[in-house]
Amino acid sequence: MAKVVIYSTPTCVYCKMAKDFLTEHNIEFEDHNVAEDEQARAEMVEKSGQMGVPVIFIDDEMMIGFDEARMRELLNL
């Protein structure tokens, strides 16, 4: 099973969509709230070289923003 990590903020609609999508498909994920967790924020900026949320990792594949089609592909859905 792929390891899914998401960096998000509570107010970001696309983050919510991504998380809803994962929940809907029974996929476990690690969620970092970068609005509060400064360390996670720094980590996200460092890894992705940018500041937009969500940043989603599916194993080593990084996705900036929520792209349902690509997510389906990477998760074999």
- Per CB under 8 A, 60 contacts another protein: no
Measured from the CB atom, the residue of 24 and 49 that comes closer to another protein is 49
Which one among 64, 70, 74, 75 touches another protein, defined by CB under 8 A?
A: 64
- Per CB under 8 A, 71 contacts another protein: no
Q: Give, in order, the Cα–Cα distances in Å from 11 to each of 8, 39, 50.
A: 9, 19, 18
Tokens of 42: 């720094």
Residues contributing to the site for another protein (CB under 8 A): 9-17, 34-36, 38, 41, 45, 49-53, 64, 68-69
